[in-house]
Structure 1
Amino acid sequence: MHTTKYIGIDIGGTKIHMGVVQNGAIVQEKRFETAATAPQEQILAELAYNLEELIDDEVAGIGIGTPGLVDEQQGIVYNVQNIPSWQQVPLKQYLSSRFRQPVYLANDANAFAVGEKMYGQGQPFAHLIGLVIGTGVGAGLIFNNDLYAGVLSSAGEFGCVPYLDKTVEDYCSGKFFSQQTGRSGAEWYALAQQGNPAALEVLTEYGRHLGNAIKIMLFTVAPQAILLGGSVSKCFAYFRGGLEESLREFPFKHVVERLVIAPSTIENAAVLGAAALCHLKQDLLSPSQSVPSL
């Protein structure tokens, strides 16, 4: 267990959540709205302003999960769709020079996957996917107990894969409900909880599409487990049937039989995972550890 304090930051298009993490728990936190349409400099200034309240002499690093493409070595974030001014942001340089702390960046889905591997149901698995299904679709990949990010943290972007007339994201995120039914996933979820037949069928149909997306993941990376995060994962009990219906069509039966699919059971996995990036990266840089792992 790591007793050192780290700060984990989860940057989203609507809110930013940051917390001081010690011994796998958030001991202090802040949440505030993202000024998504503001200039880059203003968003950075607001991030630093709020971070100042959490920084003290015991903090040993800052880990950040952010949407967009991420150059982890240089600490640059590119092309954040929900924050238009963030096209090329030297986030690591800005925060490390401001706070004199080591700063580590990862794609937000990667941070979620690390959080699940370190603190959640992912601990027993060497190969797993942290699949975030909310306003979009993102995936973090853990191979051989280590995070695999690929070039600019772009590995695992299954949401961009062409599917039917659009992409996987259009059918496997919250977009499915608004685009295909004209109602939000939250509305259908509330109706499903009341036993509404139409809602139950809509969520079953969503599950079939998600099952088809998972088949793509099984063909390409064959994980032992897929752990679900994001707002849509809360509906798991209602789309599970459709998902399993799709997976019954997968040709490698023994792979499906061994696969664990479950919604996340830990709160704030993205913040915990962002903080875990600090000791993960520091362990990788340590000459005393010849085989780095999460």
Structure 2
Amino acid sequence: MALRIIINKRLNMKKAILLLLFSISMNTFAQDTIIPLWPEGQIPNRVPSGEREIHEKEGILRISKVQEPTIEVYLPAKQNATGQAMLIFPGGGYHILAYDWEGTDIAKFLNGKGIAGIVVKYRLPTSESLKEKHNVPLIDAQRAMRLVRSNADKFNISPNKIGIMGFSAGGHLASTLGTHYNEKVYEAVDGADALSARPDFMNLVYPVVTFTQTTKHSGSQKALLKGNESEEMLKHFSNELHVTADTPPTLLVHAADDKSVPVENSLMFFQALKDHGVSATMHIYPKGGHGFSLARGDRHLRTWTERLFEWMESLEQAD
């Protein structure tokens, strides 16, 4: 009887230690994967308000009124890692973030090809907690690129193989970063801000690009520039007008029957890239509409992800 009691005590102790180690490892993992963009108390353009961040899950996780911008990091096994990373900007018309549909699901999918997927939870200009709201998404995007670059060793990625990927309004933010990465929109807060915010490559998926043409997406424009829609500002955020020879190589993906963000957005950006001698690839699908994400239910459209991986491999070969 005494022997059985001792054994049980030892088993219980062993279980307790294992549970403690598991708990510690899970907490460490969580801290490693979700990282604040800014040091505490140093978020630029933030103003006090009673507003709270909203998470709504109805099929798709929709996040609005973002208060604490973060990066959520998904890394492949070291043995599979290519050294490439992709910062992902979910869409949502600058009103919400389709956070899993065009964010975390994409990151996990990239991991299967050895690519680090990093989802950016950026602040939205419809929030009451901001000043100079039109600059805030770009502020967070620049910071995200610099922060990831500063953590390249920790994430097992190459600092010169960090690209960006944006969907819909997230594609507008990505193309804004790709064409306005040198624009000073905030004061440095730490050493990471000494690094370049230039992406090494861009993948724009059914992106909003222009605010000046009839093919613009009015919802994104109004959300970003509400009360500040001068001709100067409309041109400033029409990213086809800001392509230069230094704009990163770009892959564009769009469906011709997109009724929300007309395919002309991609066509104009492709033409601007071509005119400036920037490497540009474009895949236009006849059907697919808007917001198709990975398009897993469409046998033809879902091949766009294979074209993405082929394109990323071609970038490696070009190096």
Q: Shared topology, TM-score over 0.5?
A: no
TM-score normalised according to structure 2 size: 0.28
Give 1 or 2: higher strand fraction: 1
TM-score normalised according to structure 1 size: 0.29
Of structures 1 and 2, the one scoring higher in RCO (CA 8 A, sep 6+) is 1
Larger Cα-atom Rg: 2
